[in-house]
Amino acid sequence: MAGVKHIKAERVKDVKVKITWKQIIKQRELILLSVPFVVYVLLFSYVPLIGWVMAFQQYKPKLGFFGSKFVGLDKFKFLFVDNPDFIRVIRNTLAMGVINLVLSFVFAIGFALILNEVVHKGPKKFVQTISYLPHFLSWIIVCGILQDALSIDHGIVNDLLVNLHILKAPINFFTYKSLFWWIVGLGNVWKETGWNSIIYLAAITAINPDLYEAASIDGAGRLRKMWHITMPGIKPTIFILLLINIGNVLNAGFEIQYLLTNGLVQSVSQTIDIYVLKFGISQADYSLGTAAGIFRSLVSIVLIFIANSAAKAAGEERLF
């Protein structure tokens, strides 16, 4: 019997779905609605890839693509061989990207689980609204709030730590290299946790309520229902979002690092985006900036393929 089921499953996999003109005409409204989005992606995501040619040239704006000298992989050689600073930039970007990834997932999932347990709708909606608001704030405002909270002059964090006798005197958090990555990570958590929890809350609402009722009858408490019902119910959502965000691990950010950096922590604050700004625009070396951008894009693509293959091997949800 098991063999018959296996054969049927294999036959189902081998069936090729044929799209006919009749089906296309039937779905013409949806196809027409998708056209503007396809055009938008083509114009702003794929057409600009022509600019990658600059990474293989000594690009001069007045000469253009056709007049600039072709230098092959010289710009990439400069990045990885002749310029030790770029390796440090990669380390900084990767470290902050991983910290942002881990903290954002842990806090967003935890916040969604806790918020789901709130019974009264009024307080629940109020907390949801308040938690979403930081997402719409500019990074300039967020960095100003961070600087005020961590200020050495009556900053709330310093005052709290001194009053609890954890610190003997206030310290300047922004002068410690070992703290900078965590300040960036916690800043991202404060800004994005509420917004990131939306999709988990939506996934939780799709879980069958009968499962919770059956667990309550069996004597399960809230923590057990979270662990044995809610978490497995949102596991596919968690894996899909994890795969998507792994590809963005080198997009650690630009604004918060640029706004909070200073001479004492510059060696740990510079990211690939800041490096591209410094060399690609400030020093007008567009070819070098483009080469750094290509490296980041290729690493993101490789990470997505590796993570997707690992999820496929583990039998979990995947992107493709």
| Cα gap 162→158, rounded to integer Å | 6
What angle, 0 to 180 degrees and rounded to 10, lies between the N-to-C axes of helices 139-149 and 156-163? Answer: 30
pLDDT of residue 176: 93
Locate the domains of the chain by residue range.
2-47, 73-313
| Cα gap 188→139, rounded to integer Å | 10
User: Based on C-alpha coordinates, what's the Rg of the chain?
Assistant: 25
**Closest to 200 measured CA to CA, from 244, 243, 241:** 241
pLDDT of residue 154: 84
Burial zone of 257 (CB within 10 Å; 0-12 exposed, 13-18 middle, 19+ buried): buried
pLDDT of residue 16: 54
| Cα gap 126→133, rounded to integer Å | 11
- The model's pTM is 0.84
Q: Which 3-state string (H, E, C) describes the chain?
A: CHHHHHHHHHHHHHCCCCCCHHHHHHCHHHHHHHHHHHHHHHHHHHHHHHHHHHHHEECCCCCHHHHCEECCCHHHHHHHHHCHHHHHHHHHHHHHHHHHHHHHHHHHHHHHHHHHCCCCHHHHHHHHHHHHHHHHCCHHHHHHHHHHHCCCCCCHHHHHHHHCCCCCCCCCHHHCHHHHHHHHHHHHHHHHHHHHHHHHHHHHHCCCHHHHHHHHHCCCCHHHHHHHHHHHHHHHHHHHHHHHHHCCCCCCCCHHHHHHCCCCCHHHHCCHHHHHHHHHHHCCCHHHHHHHHHHHHHHHHHHHHHHHHHHHHCCCCCCC
CATH number of 73-313: 1.10.3720.10
The letter for the amino acid at 272 is: I
| Cα gap 158→149, rounded to integer Å | 8
The letter for the amino acid at 224 is: R
Q: Which residues of the chain have pLDDT under 70?
A: 1-17
Retrieve residue 42's tokens: 């083509």
| Cα gap 298→108, rounded to integer Å | 28
| Cα gap 186→188, rounded to integer Å | 5
**Closest to 72 measured CA to CA, from 291, 279, 244:** 291
Max CA pair span of the chain: 77
